[in-house]
Structure 1
Amino acid sequence: MEGYDLIGDVHGCGATLAALLEKLGYHQRGGVYRHPRRRVIFLGDLIDRGPRIRLAVTIARRMVEEGEAFIVMGNHEYNALAYCHRAPAGQGHEWLRRHTPRHNRIIKETLEQFRDHPQEWEEVLAWFLEIPLCLERDGLRVVHACWDPPLIDALRRDFPDGRIDEDFLAESVTPGTRAFRILDRLTRGIHIPLPEGVEIHSGDGFSRRSFRAHFWARDPQTWGDVVFQPDNLPGDLELRPLSAEERASLSHYGPEEPPLFIGHYWCEGIPALPAANVACLDYSAVKFGRLVAYRWSGERRLDANHFVWIRVPREEQARPQPWEIDFD
């Protein structure tokens, strides 16, 4: 083993994923992408939004099941599990994740692409429940959104391998529960509410009343010190001081900690390192950005030269085609 190739949020860009694997030196044998000396770690969010969701899931699932890859759960896999699991009797609603217009819109493409494959979708959901929320392997750490040590310790007390069960899933939809805090922080990260009446209108068509904050600033003082998303904060809110309550809600990942890989934050532009020991690999592939990997070979201090990516062009004729990699 030379090391791991960590791949950010795929979001249904299955053909682009295959092209990136080929670029990294993986080749399909027996329906599985393999490398003689390296393994992949997927950072979650395989599904939703993209044009070839089934293909993305099939590639990743087969690699994981054959020992060629590892994976952590993203918030979109978690959303799908809760959306498709019935709520316990007496909850007052039918599904763990309510079928609101917003939630319906998020999962719409996934359900449509699996509509004619219901048995396959059930198997995929069962596989999602087997995906751990975090990984530590050979000197690196992986989580979809935020590495929060107290919450990860709490998770591992009951689930040493980071894999949750259906009871934990059912508990996790109730705000204030331990399960909710763990799943929300690890798969969605830190959110700071915006002032009353203020919204961010994101490039993906959603309006948000909070912003995503990162967790590696040593002594943050303002909202601008921790904001971590491509959407700008309205007005002069970046200058707004963090309240004592907001500062207390932040996790902190110090520079002495092992290398950490995250996705989730739909960065833009040329991949760069936000900290010497932190790499974010979500570069908005499904929004015609980049599907990004990091080639890690044991280094404790990360190197931006180790990023590898495939651009996702807007022109249909220029996008990777699945004709050689369609497992059907």
Structure 2
Amino acid sequence: MSSPWTLPELPKDVGYDIIGDVHGCGNTLCRLLELLGYRVRSGVYRHPQGRKVVFLGDIVDRGPRIREALHTVYAMVEAGEAWMVMGNHEYNAITYCRRNRQGTDFLREHSPRNNRLIIETLSQFANYPDEWDHFLGWFMELPLFLDQGQFRVVHACWDTRLIERYWQAYTSVYLNESLLHESVHEGTFAYQVIERLTRGILLRLPEGMEIRSGDGFVRRAFRAHFWARDPQTYGDVIFQPDNLPDDLEDQMLSVFEKQQLAYYALDQAPLFIGHYWCEGIPAVMAPNIACVDYSAVKYGRLVAYRWDGEKCLDADKFVWVDVLREEFPNVGALPNLLA
């Protein structure tokens, strides 16, 4: 069945290089593009054979060269050499910097946790406030998902039933002001859409249990994937580098938890996702699903998948560069960009 939401239209006669979460690793991104055969012409990375790039979002936050990475990606998108979907960190940046309609507060709370997540981005744009405002406007123009017909991309989770409901309600792959302001209120449909597409499926841990993740945050939920046909336990769906406490992987999923899951069937088009902090050697998650986030900003790998029309994805199509520790200078302090 053809999808009614194929917007914007991507060319069907070229190969695509799908690149995972950059998180400010600007030099590493340039090294990966050059390894893939892209060269700078007229200030933009272009491929001599006409290949295009699809970025899976999360260009901002955490890394040492966020501004440089954004300029590289933006130039490619504006020149028609690349496309990009919205990641949760681009969405976070919009809501962190945007006030509510009453002008009394920001859409995203300026809590210690949220400040910590965006500190590097704001620090690196402290002397370039006009650029930052421009990029915030551009983030609003990013699609939440793309369906090229032969393949699909979304930052975290493709939930077909939810996307169909969303399309009926909004008939657009882009954020608008109404959707943005509604999406920060838990329990709304807009909140559910943004959470699912950009953050994926989160299952709450049993009362009193928590995970202290590798980045220092305490979490009381875990990330679950969406390609298990008939999952029975937590271990059947967990998809994150942090282990569950105690023997929770053997815990049976409740009926309510199963209802929260999605399933991406094997007969659907190849799907590419980021977001999940994978580790080790890149591998396909299912015959038609590949994750290309391999923890670049944690000295992992910045990964691309070279797609050339295949319906069954092949681990040999991954290309990556290791992230070097010497690319990370000291971090800065949070500036007052939002006075």
Normalising by the residue count of structure 2, what TM-score does the alignment of the two structures yield? 0.91
Aligned residue pairs, count:
315
Contact 2:149 2:269 in 1 (8 A): no
**2:40 corresponding residue in structure 1:** 28
Report SS of the residue matched to 2:139.
helix
C-alpha distance in 1, partners of 2:168/2:120?
36
C-alpha distance in 2, partners of 1:89/1:230?
40
Task: Give the alignment partner of residue 228 of structure 2, picking from 217, 242, 251.
Answer: 217
Which amino acid is 1:218 matched to? R
| CA separation of 1:246 and 1:140: change in aligned 2, threshold 3 A | same
**1:322 corresponding residue in structure 2:** none
Deviation at 1:205, TM superposition (A): 1.3
Which amino acid is 1:169 matched to? L
| 1:132-281 to 2 correspondences below 5 Å | 132-281=143-292
Deviation at 1:191, TM superposition (A): 0.3
**Structure 2: which 5+ runs fail to align?**
1-12, 329-339
| 1:13-92 to 2 correspondences below 5 Å | 13-36=25-48, 37-89=50-102
C-alpha distance in 2, partners of 1:59/1:316?
17
Report SS of the residue matched to 2:147.
strand
Contact 2:27 2:327 in 1 (8 A): no
**1:308 corresponding residue in structure 2:** 319
Deviation at 1:159, TM superposition (A): 4.1
Which amino acid is 1:186 matched to? L
C-alpha distance in 2, partners of 1:60/1:192?
33
Normalising by the residue count of structure 1, what TM-score does the alignment of the two structures yield? 0.94
1:103 correspondence with 2:114? yes
C-alpha distance in 2, partners of 1:15/1:172?
34
Report SS of the residue matched to 1:274.
strand
1:124-157 alpha-carbon deviations (Å, 9 max, x no partner):
0000000000001140000000001122123323
**2:24 corresponding residue in structure 1:** 12
**Structure 1: which 5+ runs fail to align?**
318-328
C-alpha distance in 1, partners of 2:43/2:213?
38
Deviation at 1:263, TM superposition (A): 0.3
Which amino acid is 1:300 matched to? K
Report SS of the residue matched to 1:254.
coil
**1:321 corresponding residue in structure 2:** none
Which amino acid is 2:99 matched to? R
1:220-269 alpha-carbon deviations (Å, 9 max, x no partner):
00000000001111110000000000001101001111100000000000
C-alpha distance in 2, partners of 1:49/1:154?
34
1:3-41 alpha-carbon deviations (Å, 9 max, x no partner):
100000000001100100000000011111001320000
**2:332 corresponding residue in structure 1:** none
Deviation at 1:161, TM superposition (A): 4.0
Which amino acid is 1:207 matched to? V
Aligned-pair identity (%): 61
Deviation at 1:2, TM superposition (A): 3.3
Deviation at 1:197, TM superposition (A): 1.6
CA RMSD of aligned residues (A): 1.2
C-alpha distance in 2, partners of 1:315/1:125?
29
C-alpha distance in 1, partners of 2:207/2:56?
33
Deviation at 1:77, TM superposition (A): 0.3
Deviation at 1:89, TM superposition (A): 1.7
Deviation at 1:88, TM superposition (A): 2.0
